[in-house]
Amino acid sequence: MLEQLEQIYQEAQVSLAAAASSEALHEWESRTIGKKGAVTLLLRSTGQLPKEERAAFGKRANEVKELLDAAFAERETQIKEIELIRSLESGQVDITLPGRAHPVGGLHPSTQTLRELYHIWADMGFQVFRSRDVEDDDTNFTLLNIPEHHPARDMWDTFYTTTPGVILRTHTSPGQIRAMRELGENGTQPIRVILPGMCYRYEQITSRSEMQFHQLEGLVIGRNIRMSDLKGTITAFARRMFGAKAAVRFRASYFPFTEPSMEIDVECFLCGGQGCKVCKYAGWLEISGAGMVHPTVLRNGGYDPSVWSGFAFGMGPERMTMLKHRISDIRYFWGNDLRFLEQF
């Protein structure tokens, strides 16, 4: 049997070198090292040999099998190359055809705006403070100077959970309390942070209002922080975001957690204040709510309002993106329609 094995080995080497196509190669494989190939069958019949010959034969047969396996793999690579060259030469593959583009994902337009905002605020020394999406009623309202049954609660229609007192935050302002308590070291340290995140409101969805949207809150606490600091900071921001000549206007408004409170408009950068469809012919576009932090809120955050003061603002990244790209309907943002998303 050993002789037979050596003979098969010799012949297999010669016929492998002669195999010149994939078909011939696979025919060789099944004839030699395949399940019913000559080498495999010989290996299986080792048991028929006298006991003392089995070990030597088995060793050699395994060696031959390994050598032929390796030779087969090498020949297969050679033949694949030869066949590719042949098919290129015969013109079956047009190598001048452009390659197939692989689709690549992109950043969501809201993410792009948020990153632009982070960049601008970081340049002005603001750090990101991450607050929570699931809030308690106290932090979302009461500690922000909106006691239970206060009519101002109607400004924010709320999603309640089945756990009493646990809600989805309706705005990023509760993060003000958390930032003051976590970073303020019992009202002894100044703060300069932005608080980006998702907000949820049990609201009628319209082309301008979603029930889930981002806000970017800003909070500055220090000694001698004044309204002029708020105005200067927001104006510097608007010029970075909307162009060096952007004019900014501060309109008196009301929020329970700021006093005085205001809404901030930029001159419509599409029509230069002349009036157009986007600004509804007002010449101005609203970008943010803002104000000086209310003394009660400062106290709830651990600060003494006779020593410390601060300002806060809350802007809507989706509304800004809509203005920038003239998007007519906020529902496109979460519709997951690639025809929309691929435009950014």
For the record, the structure tokens of 56 come out as 């030597």
For the record, the structure tokens of 71 come out as 């030779």
String of DSSP letters for 179-224: HHHHHSTTTTS-EEEEEEEEEE------SS--SEEEEEEEEEEETT
Q: Strand, coil or helix: what is 129? A: coil
Question: Would you count residue 138 as binding ligand FA5 (CB under 6 A)?
Answer: no
Give whichever of 184 and 289 is closer to ligand FA5, judged by the CB atom: 289
Distances 315 to 73, 158, 320 between C-alpha atoms, Å? 64, 19, 8
Parallel, antiparallel, or unpaired: how do β-strands 248-255 and 284-293 relate?
Answer: unpaired
Question: Would you count residue 284 as binding ligand FA5 (CB under 6 A)?
Answer: no
Least separation, in Å, of the C-beta of 196 and ligand FA5? Answer: 12
- Contacts with ligand FA5 by CB under 6 A: the residue count is 22
Q: Among 32, 131, 145, 258, indicate the residue that binds ligand FA5 (CB under 6 A).
A: 258
Least separation, in Å, of the C-beta of 245 and ligand FA5? Answer: 23
Binding mask 188-227 for ligand FA5 (x = CB under 6 A): -------------x-x-----xx--x-x-x----------
Give whichever of 289 and 301 is closer to ligand FA5, judged by the CB atom: 289
Residue reference for tokens 């002349």: 274
Give whichever of 31 and 181 is closer to ligand FA5, judged by the CB atom: 181
Q: Among 121, 242, 255, 303, indicate the residue that binds ligand FA5 (CB under 6 A).
A: 255
Q: Among 175, 291, 301, 310, indicate the residue that binds ligand FA5 (CB under 6 A).
A: 291
The residue number whose beta carbon is nearest to ligand FA5 equals 316
Question: Would you count residue 289 as binding ligand FA5 (CB under 6 A)?
Answer: yes
Beta strands in 223-297 (DSSP E): 248-255, 258-267, 284-293
Q: Which residues, numbered 305-324, are part of the site for ligand FA5 (CB under 6 A)? A: 312-314, 316, 318-319
Q: Strand, coil or helix: what is 269? A: coil
Q: What is the crossing angle of helices 317-325 and 109-123, to 10°?
A: 110
Least separation, in Å, of the C-beta of 119 and ligand FA5? Answer: 19
Q: Rounded to whole angstroms, how far apart are CA atoms 272 and 243?
A: 11
- Radius of gyration, CA atoms only, the chain: 37
Least separation, in Å, of the C-beta of 155 and ligand FA5? Answer: 6
* Piece of the chain touching ligand FA5 by CB under 6 A; list 85-93, 131-139, 177-185, 289-297: 289-297
In the chain, which residue ranges form alpha helices assigned H by DSSP? 2-18, 22-32, 38-44, 51-89, 109-123, 137-140, 174-183, 227-242, 295-300, 317-325, 338-341
Binding mask 22-41 for ligand FA5 (x = CB under 6 A): --------------------
Residues that bind ligand FA5 (CB under 6 A): 171, 173, 201, 203, 209-210, 213, 215, 217, 255, 258, 286, 289-291, 312-314, 316, 318-319, 330
